[in-house]
Structure 1
Amino acid sequence: MVASALGFTVMTTLIKFLGDDYPAALQTFYRQVAGFVILIPFIINRRGAAFATTRPGILLFRSAAGTLGMILSFYAFQKMPLADANALSFTRTLWLVPLAFFIVREPVGPMRIGAALVGFAGVLIMVRPGADGEFAIGWPAAAMLASSFLFALTITGMKVMTRDHSPMVLLVWSATLGLVFALPGALFVWRWPEPFDLFLLSVMGVVGTLTQGFYIKGMSIGDAGAMAPIDYIRLVFAAGAGFLLFNELPTIWTLMGAAVVVVSTLFITWREQQIARQARL
């Protein structure tokens, strides 16, 4: 989980560094290319089994939502301070509460609902709508919030799909369809990268894929209630990278709002673990 947090910080730092010359849609395409290339040996080895599915519609929806979410998050990381963008990205856990009720049909009690509402209050502290007589949220923050919602949709879809699909099959479909969906947006802003930029874009894509793998591995071998808090260390990494490389300092509003969001999402994670344990008894 620590490796995942560090890898995520490296990826977002490269996103921001390359952002002036390579728009979010183009960076997303290179990210998907790297993810697909890494999976080619598995696809060749398993052939048809790598794409075996009985629910192509959900896979198409997940990949479309995930690709759009990635473009929006890349845009936010390019335009916002790294610490601010990372803090807003954690709101995906808050979106999972209503989605679990409406889509997965999971029971949602007053404690989880209350924690989600407190978390969204933390978001309002960070974006401060109406501050200084203006709507302070801005397009980058709105993009990150929309991205978090889309990623929550993909996580919810994954919960449904894992009932009869292996994680590797889902990863293959996600990488393949993600590459297809990312291509049209990249063509609108296409430019051939310089050799060194191509190297950095490739590193960004590979690190992004490895980060996802580290996260899945950490959550699979450790208790989710214990592992999830470790992911928040990327707030520290992001603040450090932003200060050292881009001369960014998080505002007091970001720190206060992030603290509220972190506490509420940790409570939701703990509550879900308690419910899961009770169901097993």
Structure 2
Amino acid sequence: MHLSENLRGILLMCTSMAAFTINDTFMKSVTQSLPLYQTIAMRGVIALVGLGLLAALTGAFRFRPSGRDGLLILLRSLADVAATILFLEALLRMPLANLSAILQALPLLITLAAALVFGDKIGWRRMTAILVGLVGVLIIIRPGTEGFDRWSLLGIASVLCVVVRDLSVRPIQGAVPAGLVALGAAVAVTAMGWIGAGIQGWKPVSPAEAAEVLAAGLFVIVGYLSSVSAMRHGDIGLVAPFRYTSLIWAIVLGLLVFGDLPDAWTLVGAAVVVGAGLFTLWREQRLRRPSRPVPASPDPAPLDPAR
């Protein structure tokens, strides 16, 4: 039974990563012809309907967060808005796999930021792994060389915003429903999309473009639901590393849909980052006491919240 739960968690996590990456693929494709903010607004409506139904079914609307928790949810939502803008602006101009490779540094940066902000202890082994992972990011973006893509800086900025997003939920009381936290972010991102669309302009939408936006929104909902479910099955230390399967999906879809294939340096850098991240997860799991409960994150979904 225990093995069955682990396998279920792994499959759900892989499903989540596939769904989020397919969403990214649809968004990158449709923003070649539609304005970015219009697309965010349209997809946001779909995500709001799905997450709103989820919140209603789970009774999240009956919960009233405290003033402190409300401010933390607001901070998380604003960080989500910034992360979404930066991520999609980079996605519009970068190969999917290259941006995904940069995003693999997120767990490392969250570990480092948690030590700086909350005083979490990091031993020399994990600190070394974090530094090695950051070197891997430098290999990917290659600043000062001909291979440097300035849009990759937006990807890094997006990751930093996600660090703020994820750390902001840590002090939130565990009783706050995950659906309420996620819905607050979805409202903020969707509102940003409509405001931006009013400034950027609105174009007529073809049936094919509408279908792509609808697919992106549906895959966002699937990704969120499967991500939440994945963290509730099996050992978190066994399930969490399968987040890195998103890079495999990004490479495959980037090649099949856009004809983009990462160069050797990007693949080397991605391997360094993923290896460092896996070591960090393994080390954290080994150091965690068996009797110590694993705190549940209000929203364990990966990077793109507008996802």
Please report the TM-score for the alignment, with normalisation by the length of structure 2. 0.82
Moved more, 166-175 or 239-248: 166-175
**Equivalent residue in structure 2 for 1:224, among 208, 233, 236:** 236
Conserved in 2, the CA contact under 8 Å of 1:52 and 1:169? no
1:94 aligns with 2:108: yes
Tell me if structure 2 keeps the 8 A contact 1:122–1:258.
yes
Change (3 A) 1:278 1:48: closer
SS of the residue aligned with 1:220?
Answer: coil
Write the deviation string for residues 258-280 of structure 1: whole angstroms up to 9, x where unpaired: 00000111122222223332672
Q: Please state whether the residue corresponding to 1:277 is helix, strand or coil.
A: coil
1:1-281 to structure 2, matched below 5 A, reads: 1-43=13-55, 46=59, 48-50=61-63, 52-54=65-67, 55-132=69-146, 136-192=147-203, 193-277=205-289, 280=292
Across the two proteins, how many residue pairs are aligned to each other? 278
| Structure 1: runs of 5 or more not aligned | none
Structure 1 residues 16 and 47: CA distance shift in structure 2, 3 A: closer
Greater Cα shift, 166-175 or 55-64:
166-175
Larger deviation, residues 117-126 vs 216-225: 216-225
Report the structure, 1 or 2, having the larger helix content: 1
Distance 1:20 1:206 in 2: 20
Is the contact made by 1:73 and 1:144 (CA closer than 8 Å) also made in structure 2? yes
Contact 2:96 2:250 in 1 (8 A): yes
Contact in 2 for aligned 1:96/1:156 (Cα 8 Å): yes
Distance across 2 between alignment mates of 1:208 and 1:268: 28
RMSD: 2.2
**CA distance in structure 2 between the partners assigned to 1:139 and 1:162 by the alignment:** 39
Provide Cα deviations, 1:19-68, integer angstroms capped at 9, x if missing partner.
21234333333332222111333555648425544422111111111121
Identical-residue share of aligned pairs (%):
27
Cα distance in 2 for partners of 1:171, 1:104 equals: 23
Return the TM-score normalized by structure 1. 0.89
Q: In structure 1, what residue type is equivalent to 2:289?
A: R
**One-letter code aligned to 1:205:** G
Does the aligned pair in 1 maintain the 2:55–2:179 contact within 8 Å? no
| Structure-2 change in CA distance of 1:39 and 1:236 (3 Å) | closer
Whether the aligned pair in 1 keeps the contact of 2:90 and 2:154 (CA below 8 Å) is yes
Per-residue deviation, 1:150: 0.8
**Compared with structure 1, are the counterparts of its residues 182 and 64 closer, same or farther at alpha carbon in structure 2 (3 Å cutoff)?**
farther
